[in-house]
Amino acid sequence: MKASHSVRPVFDDPNLVSAAGLVPVLRLAETAGLHDLLDEYLSVDSPAATVKTACVVAGMLAGADSIDDLDLLRHGGMGRLFRGIRAPSTLGTHLRQFTHGHVQQLDAVNSRLIAGLATRCRGLIGDSGLVLVDVDDTIGQVHGYAKQTSHGQTGQAAARCSWCCQAVASL
């Protein structure tokens, strides 16, 4: 049997939603205070920083691992499920504004979000009161004078997955 090369599947139905599981997850994050915490603690100089940061978190939860992959938020019926979806280029511009200080601000958001989730999800935090988040980091070579890098286990200038992993892990 051979695949037909003359038939091309098209997924253009405006009601199609590839990541409907984001609805309950983002609703839980919102009730746990994600947007309020971002408003309070994140001072990045970007218009609608809270909405854009939430878009990046949602995209990563849906499997995006690059700026271009964040376009999955704009496919099919996603715009009918969520408000404030931004284009990948807009989100990339937003992320380029982040400094190490903004990463620390997101760490503060992360710890408070976990506390908010614990009040809504009984048993999230065990008897010890500690939450262990194990997220594998990605190390890749980076280029450019303005990049914040470290020389880690590979000996190359590398960037680690930083605030985004913390934000996703807390959801």
In a domain, 152, yes or no: no
pLDDT value for 58: 93
Summarised one tens digit per residue, pLDDT across range 92-113 is 999 999 998 998 999 899 889 9
Strand-pair partners of 42: none
Segment 18-40 mean pLDDT: 92
In a domain, 145, yes or no: no
Length of the chain: 171
Domain, as residue range, for 76: 22-124
Q: Is the pLDDT of residue 167 over 90?
A: no
In a domain, 51, yes or no: yes
In a domain, 84, yes or no: yes
In a domain, 116, yes or no: yes
Q: Specify the pTM.
A: 0.70
Q: How far apart are CA 130 and CA 88, in angstroms?
A: 35
**Residue-averaged pLDDT of the chain:** 78
Q: What's the distance, CA 97 to chain centroid?
A: 15
Q: What's the distance, CA 52 to chain centroid?
A: 10
Q: Is the pLDDT of residue 170 over 70?
A: no
Number of domains in the chain: 1
171 confidence band (pLDDT: 50, 70, 90): very low
In a domain, 81, yes or no: yes
Buried b / exposed e over 7-41, threshold 16 CB at 10 Å, is eeeeeeeeeebebeebeeebeebeebbbbebbeeb
In a domain, 47, yes or no: yes
